[in-house]
Amino acid sequence: KSGMTRKTGSKYLKLGKSPDELRQPHTWRTRPDPFAYVADDIDEILKDIPELESLMLFMRLQEKYPGKFNDGQRRTLERRVKEWKMEKGKAEILSIPQSHLPGKLMELDWTCMNELMITINEVHFKHLLCHTILTYSNWEWAEISFSESFQSLEKGFQSAVYRLGAVPEILQTDNSSTATHQVEKGKKARDFNRQYKTFLDHYGVTPRSINVNSPDENGDIESANGHLKRRINQYLLLRGSRDFSSIDEYRTFLNDILLKGNKNKAAKVKEELQVMRELPEVRLPEYIEDHVPVSTFGTIRVKKMTYSVPSRLKGHKIRIRIYEDKIELVSGTKCIVTIPRKPGTGYCIDYRHVIETFRRKPGAFANCRYKDQLFPSEIFSKTYEQFKNQFSERFADREYIEILYLAFTHGEDKVSGILSGLIDEKERFTMETVKQKLDIPMPVPKINRSKPSLRAYNALISFVRRAICLLIH
């Protein structure tokens, strides 16, 4: 039953040692070491540049000693470098296991979702997730975001704690400028922004940040970011499509994934809730208020971005509410206009706000600074290009402006569908062609009917009578 012969067993019993104790270590080589004569070079290079990878070291040796080393010997060098690093390599910074207390700590971070190639109506939906996690139970929540702004943090944190029904003792973030100032001269740490501290004071939460350039201190959320994205990707694979009809549909999909994941953590979440603080009675608004003037161009400037507004507001100073994903124009207590908010810099122009002006000033279209914003979709861009190929630039501009006006008055989707069909037919068309497709009745010319002069009529009759008499006689 031992798997050895009686003779072999007797030998081990006589010696009083096991087979492992008698086995001699393998200290000899089965073939010559091709790198033996350059061992000093290898040691010197690795001492000077310990981060150098085996592949780069191998290429360096091939350059220094032409024809001495072939590609098949690279694995031998890799083993040699590995042994060197284990024996003589520099000390590494270790991860330190942490004990987490229930209800104590929530971590918050943003993670980029662009690599998952999620689309809304077949257009790549570039976005982030503002991700929060309780470090004891690993309960998590996430909100769609477009930048690492204060409004995004505010929305992400409040969504999490109101979903949870309680608040943690500490909220930990990295050194994002959303929560902290730049390090002042003579100071080692970054102070928290007043706005951020005021926000957390409302919830009785203590702010905490990790040390600069120390992402491992935010290890729980950093790890959770990767796990969440992998899980979302798996659900997308099962779904069979990465396209959603709207952001709301995508948000519902995301929330379902988070709810399913949190079900398995119910027992530990219950422990956390027993020691966590209650929510305050009032939820803070997730916007910043400001007053901005409307320029003569019918635009407002918000956070380095220029937005168009209805032309009727030109010259007024209006109150705005800046949310993470939208801007509201307010009159009194009533929101009169809502504009989608865009990250970055530049222009965000709604053609419906400016189309009446362009109809009166079509010559301004050619050199307009925000001309590229006046193409609601690719089909409108193709239409304009076709007009430029068919007509003079001036006439093409006029025709395209009228097409935009039809989109404004009869619906963008309807006009877009007609344009798509006309372009597919590869025939010349004009704004009038689109009008006919929309079944717009042709205007009836107005006829001015003036009252006839009886005196002139009588004079005409007298003239005819005299003419007849002359012909008879």
Residue range 256-282, pLDDT digits in tens: 999 999 999 999 999 999 999 999 988
Nearest to residue 98, comparing CAs of 262, 210, 258? 210
Quick one: pLDDT at residue 119?
95
Q: What is the pLDDT of residues 358-401, one digit of tens each?
A: 999 999 999 999 999 999 999 999 999 999 998 999 999 999 99
**Rounded average pLDDT over 184-200:** 75
Map the chain to HEC letters: CCCCCHHHHHHHHHHCCCHHHHCCCCCCCCCCCCCHHHHHHHHHHHHHCCCCCHHHHHHHHHHHCCCCCCHHHHHHHHHHHHHHHHHHCCCCCCCCCCCCCCCCEEEEEEEECHHHCCEECCEECCCEEEEEEECCCCCEEEEEECCCCHHHHHHHHHHHHHHHCCECCEEEECCCCCCECCCCCCCCCCCECHHHHHHHHHHCCEEEECCCCCHHHHHHHHHHHHHHHHHHHHHHHHHCCCEECCHHHHHHHHHHHHHHHHHCCHHHHHHHHHHCECCCCCCCCCCEEEEEECCCCCEEEECCEEEECCHHHCCCEEEEEECCCEEEEEECCEEEEEEECCCCCEEECCHHHHHHHHHHCHHHCCCCCCHHHHCCCHHHHHHHHHHHHHCCHHHHHHHHHHHHHHHHHHCHHHHHHHHHHHHHHCCCCCHHHHHHHCCCCCCCCCCCCCCCCHHHHHHHHHHHHHHHHHHHC
Residue 224 belongs to domain with CATH number? 3.30.420.10
Q: Are residues 268 and 179 in the same domain?
A: yes
Residue 99, domain member (yes or no): no
Q: Are residues 33 and 82 in the same domain?
A: yes
Side chain identity at 290, as an amino acid letter? Answer: D
* Domain coverage including residue 266: 105-275
Residue 468, domain member (yes or no): no
Quick one: pLDDT at residue 34?
86
Residue 333, domain member (yes or no): yes
Quick one: pLDDT at residue 224?
92
120 contacts 246 by C-beta, under 8 angstroms: yes
Q: Are residues 161 and 142 in the same domain?
A: yes
Residue 281, domain member (yes or no): no
**Rounded average pLDDT over 315-338:** 92
Side chain identity at 272, as an amino acid letter? Answer: E
Q: Are residues 324 and 369 in the same domain?
A: no
Number of residues assigned to the chain = 473
pLDDT at 246 over 80: yes
Quick one: pLDDT at residue 27?
66
pLDDT at 468 over 80: no
Residue 447, domain member (yes or no): no
Q: Are residues 109 and 212 in the same domain?
A: yes
- How many whole angstroms separate alpha carbon 16 and alpha carbon 19? 10
Q: Which of 26, 55, 88 is the last residue of a domain?
A: 88
Q: Exposed e or buried b for every residue in 43-56, given b needs 16+ CB within 10 A?
A: eebbeeeeeeebee
Quick one: pLDDT at residue 153?
93
pLDDT at 337 over 90: yes
**Rounded average pLDDT over 61-79:** 89
Q: What is the pLDDT of residues 120-175, one digit of tens each?
A: 988 899 999 999 999 999 999 999 999 888 889 999 999 999 999 999 999 998 87
Quick one: pLDDT at residue 239?
94
Q: Which of 246, 275, 304 is the last residue of a domain?
A: 275
Q: Are residues 326 and 370 in the same domain?
A: no
Residue 471, domain member (yes or no): no
Q: Which of 223-232, 432-441, 443-452 has the lowest mean pLDDT?
A: 443-452
Residue 455, domain member (yes or no): no
Quick one: pLDDT at residue 97?
73
335 alpha-carbon distance from chain centroid: 27
Q: How confident is the model at residue 192 (pLDDT cuts 50, 70, 90)?
A: confident
- How many whole angstroms separate alpha carbon 206 and alpha carbon 454? 98
Q: Are residues 70 and 134 in the same domain?
A: no
Quick one: pLDDT at residue 308?
95
Paired strand residues for 417 = none
Report the domain count for the chain.
4
| Residue/partner pairs of 309-317 with CB below 8 Å, 24 or more apart | 309/337, 309/339, 309/353, 310/337, 310/353, 311/353, 311/354, 311/356, 311/357, 317/291, 317/292, 317/293
Number of CB atoms found within 10 A of residue 132's CB: 26
Top-confidence residue, 234 or 64: 234
Nearest to residue 385, comparing CAs of 400, 406, 403? 400
CA angle 32, 37, 38 (to 5 degrees): 120
Quick one: pLDDT at residue 271?
94
pTM: 0.68
- How many whole angstroms separate alpha carbon 32 and alpha carbon 137? 56
User: What residues contact residue 411 under an 8 Å CB cut-off, 6+ apart?
Assistant: none
Q: Which of 55, 88, 121 is the last residue of a domain?
A: 88
Q: Are residues 34 and 57 in the same domain?
A: yes
Q: Are residues 331 and 369 in the same domain?
A: no
Q: How confident is the model at residue 345 (pLDDT cuts 50, 70, 90)?
A: confident
Quick one: pLDDT at residue 183?
52
Residue 391, domain member (yes or no): yes
Q: Exposed e or buried b for every residue in 350-372, given b needs 16+ CB within 10 A?
A: bbbbbbeebeeebeebeebebee
Q: Which of 9-18, 180-189, 417-426, 460-469 has the lowest mean pLDDT?
A: 180-189
Q: Are residues 110 and 69 in the same domain?
A: no
Q: Are residues 243 and 142 in the same domain?
A: yes
Query: Max alpha carbon distance in the chain (Å)?
Result: 169
**Tokens at residue 64, please?**
């220094």
Q: Are residues 201 and 227 in the same domain?
A: yes
Average pLDDT of the chain to the nearest whole number: 87
pLDDT at 444 over 80: no
Quick one: pLDDT at residue 448?
66
pLDDT at 472 over 90: no
- How many whole angstroms separate alpha carbon 291 and alpha carbon 464? 80
Top-confidence residue, 343 or 303: 303
- How many whole angstroms separate alpha carbon 471 and alpha carbon 458? 20
pLDDT at 445 over 70: no
Number of CB atoms found within 10 A of residue 130's CB: 26
The rounded percent of the chain whose pLDDT value lies above 70 is: 90
Q: Starting from the edge strand earliest in sequence, which strands make up the sheet with 140-145, in order? A: 140-145, 128-134, 105-112, 170-173, 206-209
